[in-house]
Amino acid sequence: MNLDLSSCIYKQKIRKLDFDGVHIGGDASYSFMSENNNTSNPLLALEIPYSNDNFYPDFINDVYKSANFFEKLKVAGNSGADMLAVKFNADEASIDGLVAEIPGIIDKIEQIVNLPLLYRGANNAEIDKILLPAIAKAAKKQAIIAFADEFNYEQITPAVLENGHCLVLRTPIDINLAKELNILTIDKKLSPDRILIDPDMGGLGYGLEYGYSIVEKIKQAGFDGDNMLNMPIIAFIGEETYKTKEAKSNKFTPEWGKFAERAAMWEISAASAMICAGVNLLVVWNPQTVKTLKGLV
């Protein structure tokens, strides 16, 4: 049976974020015999750490053959990913020095990378109040800045707004908190068309089911016409996957399988689940995940 979607009753769409040549979101929901039609493919961003050799498990480091950061960027750029993500790390002792270096680092990244870029901070609210505005000001190409939360959105949003970037807003796996932070950030004059929702998913086996249900709820609220929850959704798959012992430890019996294969499948499985839930942009660590998911999607 061929379904003619032109005869369907149009319900609602997720906002489409037009960003540096790619389109994030734009999922459409139609009413036709109680079935939905998702019209947008998820995008994949491969994440590279800046100056942190302990970021990856050893088997992923092997892919880059101990290359320095900028050489890793070149390798990652040929992975088939739709975007590249750069993770910056800093603490109170190093933040001033890193901020001073940021303009030069960003300039060189933009010279090397031809793909859209996402820049992520240290996942520390106080550090990122300083770090993410510096990145937003230094980036000449439009970028996605990740992430602001309830503790630092007031300090981060102005720099994102003034420099034309997009902003990821993270809240702890709660639809009401996600909506509230979206409203507060829009009140700071950032367009809702430049916001991505990060519901802070749990890793496979460690909260994935709950995170999956929250993504579904946010998505359905957007389809039902809630303009404060119809932004594209992003999930940091690698960050959550490689916290789990199954994906980072080789101290299991042979029945668990080869470590590198098991860890890769852990990320692929988590990413696949989030695609099914409705995530629009997935940030992963393993180039094999990009290859596998591109084949599936």
DSSP annotation of 104 reads: H
Which residue in 59, 53, 100 sits closest to 72, CA to CA? 53
Report CA dihedral (122, 123, 125, 130) to the nearest 10 degrees: 20
Which residue is it, tokens 């102005």?
158
Q: Provide the 3-class DSSP secondary structure of residue 9.
A: strand
Number of domains in the chain: 1
The token duo for 270 is 């988590």
Q: Provide the 3-class DSSP secondary structure of residue 51.
A: coil
Q: Which residue has the higher pLDDT, 270 or 249?
A: 270
Tens-digit pLDDT profile for residues 95-108: 999 999 999 999 99
Instruction: Answer yes or no: is 12 within a domain.
Output: no
Angle in degrees, 0-180, between the axes of helices 69-77 and 95-112, rounded to the nearest 10 = 40
Instruction: Answer yes or no: is 94 within a domain.
Output: yes
- Asked if pLDDT for residue 33 goes beyond 80, the answer is no
Instruction: Answer yes or no: is 175 within a domain.
Output: yes
Residue count of the chain: 297
Looking at the chain, the whole-number percentage of residues with pLDDT higher than 90 is 70
Average pLDDT, the chain: 90
Domain that holds residue 51: 17-296
- Asked if pLDDT for residue 7 goes beyond 60, the answer is no
Tens-digit pLDDT profile for residues 165-201: 999 999 999 999 999 999 999 999 999 999 999 999 8
The token duo for 242 is 């490689």
Strands 9-13 and 143-148, sheet pairing: unpaired
Instruction: Answer yes or no: is 11 within a domain.
Output: no
Looking at the chain, the whole-number percentage of residues with pLDDT higher than 70 is 91
Instruction: Answer yes or no: is 110 within a domain.
Output: yes
- Asked if pLDDT for residue 31 goes beyond 80, the answer is no
Which pLDDT score is estimated for 58? 84
Report in angstroms the alpha-carbon separations of 17 from 13, 73, 92.
12, 24, 34
Instruction: Answer yes or no: is 1 within a domain.
Output: no
Report residue 116 CA to chain centroid gap.
Answer: 13
Domain CATH for 21 = 3.20.20.20
Instruction: Answer yes or no: is 7 within a domain.
Output: no
CB 181 within 8 A of CB 153: yes
Instruction: Answer yes or no: is 201 within a domain.
Output: yes
Which pLDDT score is estimated for 32? 46
Instruction: Quickly list DSSP for 144-178.
Output: EEEEE-TTTHHHHHHHHHHTT-EEEEE-SS-HHHH
